[in-house]
Amino acid sequence: MKTIVITGASGFIGMALCRVFHEAGWRVFGGVREPERHHTKFFHPFRCDLPDSVSQSPFQDADVCIHAAWTMIWRTRRDALRTNIKGTAHVLRLCRKHGCRFVFLSSCSAHNQAESLYGRTKLAVEQRLDPARDLIVRPGFVIGNGSVFSRMRDALVGSRIVPLFDGGHGPLQTIHIDDLCHFVRAAVQKKITGRLVAAEAEGTCLRTFLRELAHASGRRPLFIPVPSAITLPFVQLAEFARLPLPLSSENLKGLRGLVYQPSRSDIRRVGIRIRSWRESLSTMP
């Protein structure tokens, strides 16, 4: 029986990955901040509280580690870098020490023009990895019940007016949570290294996606185009004054940094079909 370590096992993607590897017959160790609170048949919980409180023992017999833990909530930029960069380096060191393959869940937001701390930090971590021995997976926007997708849908359902920054023309590539898990499992089983984009090849633009998501939820909000260059300084000023806001400057920079990432050859290499965004939305209740 093969053994896998998955960090961020309490999260949306980490938990789904634990389930898929468990069902495929792997022994799964799930890294969580409070192991005593997790009772599930899908993984054996162990402590993984980044940056440095990580139990070593699961790594000793593990064949592979998928690093899905990442904080998107931070008080200061320094805290974010400590958890994400220092924390990832710590997990990577354990993998190297125990001869365990390292898989990093990055993002399509990781690219040279990224303005957001999220995209730049993901890219910085990618650049520290070895493409000959590690695997980097860049998922598109993940559709499923959890994380950013659920928050976006809830926000749309609760709004009559929705600002569309820069007209919402930025490209959006998605992947259904089930397709992502099967994609990662197939890539791990084929021992692929280097970088893979796990996202539909065509995609759409943010405006079309948001409209159809709202319609699918029975809502017809008013979409108003707003220039992000004008909005960003106001949002930053409001953050400085600690005023409550519906979105952060980090969110806005993330939306400005949407780029198209070619994925066709990676999908062929892994051999998993990825649903289109419309097919994925049609599976959502």
Ligand X SMILES: NC(=O)c1ccc[n+]([C@@H]2O[C@H](COP(=O)([O-])OP(=O)(O)OC[C@H]3O[C@@H](n4cnc5c(N)ncnc54)[C@H](OP(=O)(O)O)[C@@H]3O)[C@@H](O)[C@H]2O)c1
Q: Scanning residues 73 to 102, which ones bind ligand X (CB under 6 A)?
A: 83
Interaction of residue 10 with ligand X, rule CB under 6 A = yes
The stretch among 6-14, 95-103, 182-190, 246-254 that binds ligand X (CB under 6 A) is 6-14
- Give me the amino acid identity at 112: N
Nearest approach, Cβ of residue 69 and ligand X (Å) = 4
Tell me the C-alpha distance between 141 and 199, whole Å. 8
Contacts 24+ apart (CB under 8 A), 123-126: 124/85, 125/84, 125/85, 125/88, 126/195
Of 18, 66, 117, 142, the one binding ligand X by CB under 6 A = 142
For residue 221, give the DSSP letter.
P
Interaction of residue 11 with ligand X, rule CB under 6 A = yes
Nearest approach, Cβ of residue 198 and ligand X (Å) = 9
Of 55, 147, 150, 208, the one binding ligand X by CB under 6 A = 147
Interaction of residue 121 with ligand X, rule CB under 6 A = no
Which of residues 12 and 46 has its CB atom nearest to ligand X in the complex?
12
Of 2, 40, 55, 71, the one binding ligand X by CB under 6 A = 71
**276 in Cβ contact with 202 (< 8 Å):** yes
The torsion region of residue 65 among left (phi > 0), alpha (psi -120 to 50) and beta comes to beta
Which of residues 70 and 241 has its CB atom nearest to ligand X in the complex?
70
**183 in Cβ contact with 198 (< 8 Å):** yes
Which of residues 45 and 168 has its CB atom nearest to ligand X in the complex?
45
Residues 6+ positions from 123 with CB-CB distance below 8 Å:
106, 110, 111, 112, 114
The interface mask with ligand X, positions 25-64, x = CB under 6 A, is: --------x--------------xxx--------------
DSSP H helical segments within 26-139, as ranges? 57-60, 77-81, 87-98, 117-127
Interaction of residue 172 with ligand X, rule CB under 6 A = no
Tell me the C-alpha distance between 210 and 167, whole Å. 12
Q: Which residues on neighbouring strands pair with residue 64, listed in sequence order? A: 4, 101
Nearest approach, Cβ of residue 222 and ligand X (Å) = 26
Which of residues 71 and 217 has its CB atom nearest to ligand X in the complex?
71
Interaction of residue 14 with ligand X, rule CB under 6 A = yes
